[in-house]
Structure formats: structure tokens, C-alpha cells
A = this chain, B = another copy of it.
């Protein structure tokens, strides 16, 4: 077994493909967004990437059959759009810095073969507090893209995120220039405490404008409501605990 291996179900014939990455990360924003997009555009899985850089683990599917944890590539053909999509999601990112670099490098090699010229990486930007209306922050491989994104409502804010971008969403941008690819990272604001479908929706709304696709958000909104009701209940419990403790002190 090589350090990283790709196993193709099929080699799709794609028209001017754009690549979208949404792997697990802060608030799982990128993964939620990528999975929702795959769902909405009826994406078809065409390859698995397995790697020694992932945890030594198998996932058990509902039918009792296992598969190695992996990253998965989907494509979505778009009739008449002259722009098909390749979407990456998966169970894990690489566990080590070296693994992260090697996986991003490997993926860019795969994309080059697929003749991808434009990349969008999706992620969350953790701000440590709950937020009503998440902004979508951006970063890009060149200034013309920054301008383009600003027009679409993406926020470019000095020192946000201050620590830069860690993981695949960052590396794919940073290494894209060695592959001659233009790349944008879209980061939805999120508390970082919960999976955040609302932030994923904010990111997708921007991406949908860029790609000119129609996306229905009912499912993400339903998930967001679930999360909201969980967090609300947690707050209630917390408030009650505080009250009880106060009474305790008085009693």
C-alpha cells in the first residue's frame, strides 16, 4: 500500500471542471456544505482516496459492511453550463502536518489530470461565540479573485482569520500556484462549538451565486433548527443548574 492511494470507480469525462473541497473541520462547515451540494446536484462518487495519513480505522455502513475511512471524489455534470463540478468530502483530514501536505499535493495532482483550473475550498472560521448571521470570509490566490469575491458579498478583513487557514482548505490554496490553478477559500463564521448548518448555508449561498446553480436549503435549515433547539435546551439546563446552585447557597 502506498502512503496515499486513489481507487477509481470510473474516470468521468468532465467539461471544464471546477473543484470544490469540503472536508471535516471547524463546525464541520465545509463538509456540511459539500455534502449538501452533492445531494442537491445529484453528484456521483467516482473515486476513493485512502491513506496511511488517516486514522487506522474502518467505518461500518448500515448494512454491516466496512470500508476504510477515506476521502471521496464526486462529480456533477451540468447540462449546458459548460462547467461540471468535482466535489471532495470525506471522513478525516490528514493526521500529521506531513500528511496534510502530502494529501493536498496528491489531490492537486489528481485535479491536474482532470484539467481543473479553478478551486473553491470551504471551511468554518471559529469565533468562539454564538452568531445570528454568519458572514462569509474569503482568501484567494490572487488579487483579481479577491475583487471578484468582494462583489459577491465575501468579506476580506485584515487579520481575519488572524492565524491564517489551517488544513486542507488552506494548503490547497497555498499549493495551487505550483499547479497553475486559481483558488478561493470561503469560510463561514461559526462558534466552533457545534456543527453549524447555518454557516454551511451562508457559504453555499455565495458559492451558488459564483457557480450559478440553484440550491434548495430546506434540509440545511431543518438541521439548523435541530441544532438551535439543542443549544436552547442546553442553555435552559444551564440556567436551571445555576438557579439551583444559588438556592443551595441561600438555603
Contacts and interface: CB of A to CB of B under 8 A. Distances in A.
A58 to B, nearest CB: 4
Contacts of A140: 64-66
B64 A138 contact: yes
Interface stretch (A32-40, A170-178, A217-225): A170-178
Interface in A62-83: 62-69
Contact of A165 (B57, B62, B163, B174): B57
Say how many copies of this protein the assembly contains: 4
Contacts of A66: 139-141, 164-165, 170, 173-174, 185
Interface residues of A, number: 51
B65 A158 contact: no
A95 interface: yes
Nearest to A167: B56
13 contacts: A1-B178, A3-B98, A56-B167, A57-B163, A57-B174, A58-B173, A60-B139, A63-B146, A64-B140, A65-B140, A66-B140, A66-B185, A68-B174
Interface of A: 1, 3, 52-60, 62-69, 94-95, 97-98, 100-102, 104-105, 138-143, 146, 156, 158, 161, 163-168, 170-171, 173-175, 178, 185
